[in-house]
Structure 1
Amino acid sequence: MKKRLIYLDNAATTKTHPDVVSAMLPYFSECFGNPSSLYDLAAASRTAVEDARGKVAAAIGAKADEIYFTSGGTESDNWAIRGVATAHAKKGRHIITSAIEHHAVLHTCEALEKEGYEVTYLPVDESGRVRVADVLAAIRDDTILISIMLANNEIGTIQPIAEIGEIARTKKIAFHTDAVQAVGHIPVDVNSLNVDLLSLSAHKFRGPKGIGALYIRKGTRIAPFMHGGAQEKRRRAGTENVPAIVGLGAAIERAVALMPEKTDRILKLREKLIAGLGAIPASRLNGHPNERLPNNVNYIFEYIEGESILLLLNAHGIAASTGSACTSASLDPSHVLLACGIPHEIAHGSLRLTLGEETAEEEIDYVLETVPKVVQRLRDMSPLTPKELRSR
């Protein structure tokens, strides 16, 4: 008998859509030419790459020649930060970011600190929002880059990127946003956001893993990320992953087209889930109540461990997470929750549920039946649980 699976970890990755797979398949075995070659077979691959580039550009309001293909969000973040830092090293060595960024940003900044750069890690309020005034106050004469994510991967909070970008533009400072969790889920336009660089990744919106893009506004000074060939206008060498690039183009075009209809349905399910989990005693919703991704629900249940919740939910056929998939092997509490002012001992008990376009209302009903039982079972086992929260 097949085990039930309710997949609520779409922020970690999504199932590649069959239409996206179908679009990719010819480029594995039929149109397999290297785009850099000169014969007709290569031209077909080259045309497919440029067609996908145009689709990515159209999805975020950019020009096609401002889109550069990468291996995913992590590479895009690394390139944006290190590339700008390298290109502007003589002008200054100060970078501004936030305390709740993805580790692809934080670890890159930490690596640059070892090379003599200075990084200001901005605090956030209890909902995980960066204060625009804090950004302005942190700017120095030698500030060369500001990097603030569009939407947080753990708690779903959406940042005031347009306002921050306006400040950066006025001050003539390069501005990057990690939009990996946002693209394909909320409207994204690089011009209205006032960003110079933007990272995205296909597998967050039903595309394949291992492919992403970095938007680089024309005129932005940035050093190449990889050397060795003329691909991507000599900025990112290496033979193009044509099937994956085609998949990215198909997935982002599909995600944008379906966004209004999909978002409305998912929002209703999210609100039902938030209301139901909020009825559990000693629980709290993490992230901004309104300025958050439509598919994100992140709760803390006091007196228990998030890892224990996941194991028991898995036994009931529910796939969820405690936070970022990139830190799932760590026993440390979420750096995002700690930055929001949640105490260390409470931050351990977090649960992230991220919905997808295939999530059904019956599945949400089952989750709302199961989670309270799991939480109660774990609280009954915990010596930390106060008497009034025990069932016996």
Structure 2
Amino acid sequence: MIYLDNNATTYIADEVFETILPYLQEEYGNASSIQHKIGRNANHAVEYARTVIANHLHAKPKEILFTSGSTESVNMVLKGIFERYHLKGNHIITCQTEHKAVLSTCAYLEKKGATVTYLPVDRNGQIDLELLHSSITEHTILVCLMAANNETGIIHPLKAIAEICQEKDTLFFCDATQYIGKEKLDLQRIPIDIVCFNGHKLHGPKGVGALFIRRKSKPIQIAPLVHGGNQENGLRGGTYNVAGIAGLAKALELIDYSTHVKELRDYFEKSLMVQIDECTIHATQFRRIHNTSNVLFKYVKGSELMTNLPNIALSSGSACVSGSRDPSHVLKAMHLSDEEAYCSLRFSFSRYNTMAQVDIVVQEIASAVTKIRNSSPIWQLYKSGKLE
């Protein structure tokens, strides 16, 4: 099996696995039980990880909180901000191409009285910054925009968005789940207020995430989503996932910003364009995270193509909606037709992939596409000029 579904989840790095193991066996203490050595060892692991993550983001350790992952973080921030800032306003701004964790939570908050603006995007997945600027009103309490799209890899202009939010005195929350681990994020240079990400997108463990909340002269108020003990200064109750937290920090320490993955992706795209007629790479006109390629194979359903590629792991979009019969909401927002969305597949690479694998994948895709099209009356009509 050649694995090209790294935006869904990643192989856990050997070094990360070795880091995790002691905290499941010998060092199994509760990080809140600092009265004895084994608890203090666990606490030290958590605080060391907090420092590692803070340093990676150019933040302060006290600005880092731990969660079970980005979906929990998204729910905590959106619901918590809405609860604490409702006296100021009820307006939230997001985007039509956000992850379902954001869109579903916003839909929930609309039932609770929130007003949500869903910014449109163009064919390249780009928002209009002037529209963002004009959409922020005195009642806006939060702008929620992801760093990089999980289906297309498109990167939002984070610095420009953050500066608009600063000018308008509005909080900016960024889901950087697909971004961190692939691109550097310097939170001293880019004044984002709140950032979330998780471990399993960057060769770390599942079930653990981190949330950055900037410390400001006027503290950001977020109501807790999970009540319990006083962990994370009362913002997130529950026993610390020490093994996961240690693994998340180790995964960040191992991040390699070399050009290897970009070279794989670029070689893959060039090879596809040479070997397969009528295939289109989505959103190539703007900056993308370097591991992601979303490809339209004209008149070849993505589901059928995947069935004919049993030795390649890939997806038609977000893992959270992969079982849906509906076309990708991301591609639809980018003005693609239902047919075009159904005929698109996402390929996402990692540092563990090789050029030899790319050659095999392109050959197998070319063979499968030819087989499907040869038995397709629609394709024959298209080639004869009777369909557009």
Q: So what's the TM-score if we normalise by structure 2?
A: 0.95
Partner of 1:353: 347
1:207-252 deviation line (CA, Å, top 9, x unaligned): 0001001111112221112111111111000000100010001001
**Alignment correspondent of 1:370:** 364
Instruction: Report the CA distance between 1:282 and its aligned residue.
Output: 2.0
Does 2:129 align with 1:135? no
Local SS of the residue matching 1:77: helix
Cα distance in 2 between the residues matched to 1:383 and 1:324: 30
User: What residue ranges of structure 1 are gaps of 5+ in the alignment?
Assistant: none
Whether the 8 Å contact between 2:124 and 2:286 is mirrored in structure 1 is: no
Q: Deviations over 1:24-47 (max 9, x none)?
A: 111111111111112111000000
Q: Distance in 1 between matches of 2:127 and 2:246?
A: 35
> d(CA) in 1 for partners of 2:68 and 2:381?
51
Match of 1:323 in 2: 317
Q: What is the identity, as a one-letter code, of the residue corresponding to 2:242? A: V
Give the superposed CA RMSD: 1.2
Give the drift of 1:387: 3.7
Q: Counterparts in 2 of 1:97-116, with a 5 A limit? A: 97-116=94-113
Matches within 5 A, 1:81-160: 81-160=78-157
1:47 pairs, out of 41, 44, 47, with 44
Query: Is 1:268 matched up with 2:263?
Result: yes
8 Å contact from structure 2 (residues 302, 342) kept in 1 = yes
Q: How many residues align?
A: 379
- CA distance in structure 2 between the aligned counterparts of 1:267 and 1:25, rounded to whole angstroms: 32
Report the Cα distance in structure 1 between the residues aligned to 2:173 and 2:68, rounded to whole angstroms.
18
Distance in 2 of aligned mates of 1:288 and 1:86? 39
Report % sequence identity. 40
- Provide closer, same or farther for how the CA distance between residues 273 and 389 of structure 1 changes in structure 2, counting only shifts above 3 A: farther
Partner residue, 2:20: 24
Q: Secondary structure at the match of 2:93?
A: strand
What are the residue-to-residue correspondences of 1:1-392 with 2, within 5 Å? 5-37=1-33, 38-218=35-215, 219-255=219-255, 258-259=256-257, 261=258, 264-279=259-274, 280-314=276-310, 317-387=311-381, 389=383
CA drift of 1:278 comes to 2.3
Deviation by residue 1:296-344 (Cα, 9 ceiling, x = unmatched): 1110112121111111112xx1111111011110011100000001011
Gaps of 5+ in 2: none
Q: Distance between the aligned counterparts of 1:104 and 1:287, measured in 2?
A: 23
Distance 1:180 1:103 in 2: 13
The TM-score normalised by the length of structure 1 is: 0.94
1:83 and 1:386 mapped to 2: Cα distance? Answer: 55
CA contact (8 A) 2:10 2:200 kept: yes
